[in-house]
Amino acid sequence: MIVVKSKGLLSILAFSEKRKDILFLLAQNSRTLSEIREHFNVSSPEISPRIKEMEAANLIQRSDKHYQITPIGRAIAKHYRSFLDILETIEKNESFWSEHLVDDIPQHLLERLADLNECEVIADPLENIYESHKVFRENLSRSGIFKGVSTIFIPSYPDFFVSLAMNKTPAELVLTEKVFLKVMSEHKDKLQSFLDSPTSELYIIEDVRLAFVVTDYFFSLSLFYANGSYDPRNDLVGYGGSAIKWGNDLFEHYKGMSRHVTSL
């Protein structure tokens, strides 16, 4: 067995929460030793060795009585923070990310997963498979704009989209080819009503293995399992601006890959 030992800067930061915290603290403002001690509520013997190690590694430096981050330290702090943020986002909902396919999320958005840090997984218990749909409907009732990509057909959706059209709610919908053909064969009149609305836009894409909704109020993402089956029970839901921005960027990605439908 080969054992890889971490050395240098990686060792200094990766194996010490305190050194990491000091780096991020000084990235905000320079501090005296007493201010650093007070911030972490520790004694000088506890914190001084960590500071000396960081000085020796050119991460921080002392000027008069103040410790400040070095230019090298600031560059590391910027990227290290991003690294920790994406790890935290994945670990927060680890099973969601590990058990599902993420292949159809474009790489540039996977690299921005930290934008979804505040999102939570809403998981339906087996005895109440429609609980997430209840939350979904409640969130939609608070929304004034609707964008979504649908890879599955849910019987209640045609009536819902007709209601969006009737209420003149701005709505953009991307359907897979299979879902579009099913709606065409079973709900053609409702589909036409949606298309007739000046506030509705419909797009068709060949195939995609995810489904999501983004509005001005929330973002909700559903994924497929690794075996290719759709997961109807677990939705990643977020309400913050970064999650909504991420969802809008994902929608624009798929809208750009789709063909615009203006008439049947």
Domain residues for 15?
8-81
Average of per-residue pLDDT values in the chain: 89
Residue 137 and residue 255 in one domain: yes
- The predicted-structure confidence for 130-169, as pLDDT tens digits, reads as follows 444 666 778 877 889 999 999 988 888 888 888 988 989 9
CATH code where residue 37 lies = 1.10.10.10
Q: Long-range contacts: 113-117, Cβ < 8 Å, 24+? A: 113/86, 113/89, 114/82, 114/85, 114/86, 114/88, 114/89, 115/242, 115/243, 115/245, 115/246, 116/89, 116/236, 116/238, 116/242, 116/243, 116/246, 117/85, 117/88, 117/89, 117/92, 117/242
| Overall number of domains in the chain | 2
pTM of the predicted structure, to 2 decimals? 0.82
Confidence of residue 11 (pLDDT cuts 50, 70, 90): confident
Is residue 90 assigned to a domain?
Answer: no
Residue 60 and residue 168 in one domain: no
Residue 21 and residue 148 in one domain: no
Is residue 1 assigned to a domain?
Answer: no
Residue 161 and residue 56 in one domain: no
Is residue 197 assigned to a domain?
Answer: yes
Residue 206 and residue 128 in one domain: yes
Average pLDDT over residues 97-121: 96
